[in-house]
Amino acid sequence: MSTFARQAARNVVLPSSLDEAVAALAAAPTAVPVAGGTDLMAAVNSGLLRPAGLVGLGRISEIRGWQYADGHALLGAGLTHARMGRPDFAALIPALAAAARAAGPPQIRNAGTLGGNIITAAPGGDALPVLAALEATVILAGPQGNRELPVSHLLTGMDPLRTAELLAYVRVPLLHAPQTFLKATGRTGPGRATASVCVVLDPARRGVRCAVGAVAPVPLRPLQAEQWVASLIDWDGERALAPEACTAFGEYVAASCIPDPLPAPDGTPGPELPPAAIQLRRTVAALARRALGRALA
Residues of the shown chain interacting with ligand FAD in the complex, contacts defined by CB under 6 A:
32-40, 42, 57, 77, 103-104, 108, 111-113, 115-117, 119-120, 125-126, 166-167, 192
Q: 174 with 106: CB under 8 angstroms? A: no
Nearer to ligand FAD, 126 or 202 (CB): 126
Least distance to ligand FAD, CB of residue 6, Å? 21
Collapsed DSSP state (helix, strand, coil) of residue 175:
coil
* Calpha distance 40→96 (Å, rounded): 22
Least distance to ligand FAD, CB of residue 2, Å? 20
Nearer to ligand FAD, 215 or 233 (CB): 215
* Calpha distance 199→211 (Å, rounded): 7
Least distance to ligand FAD, CB of residue 165, Å? 7
Closest residue to ligand FAD in the complex (CB)? 116
Least distance to ligand FAD, CB of residue 40, Å? 3
* Calpha distance 240→102 (Å, rounded): 29
* Calpha distance 16→177 (Å, rounded): 36
Nearer to ligand FAD, 58 or 207 (CB): 58
Nearer to ligand FAD, 16 or 227 (CB): 16
Least distance to ligand FAD, CB of residue 131, Å? 12
Least distance to ligand FAD, CB of residue 43, Å? 8
Query: Helix, strand, coil: what percent of the chain each, to 5?
Result: 40, 20, 40
Nearer to ligand FAD, 41 or 248 (CB): 41
How crowded is the C-beta side of 261, counted as CA atoms within 13 Å? Answer: 13
Strands 72-76 and 166-173: antiparallel
**Cα 90 from chain centre:** 16
Least distance to ligand FAD, CB of residue 145, Å? 16
Q: 213 with 103: CB under 8 angstroms? A: no
Which of 73, 104, 101, 72 is closest to 87 using CA atoms? Answer: 101
| Terminal alpha carbon distance of the chain | 56
Nearer to ligand FAD, 125 or 250 (CB): 125
Nearer to ligand FAD, 54 or 258 (CB): 54
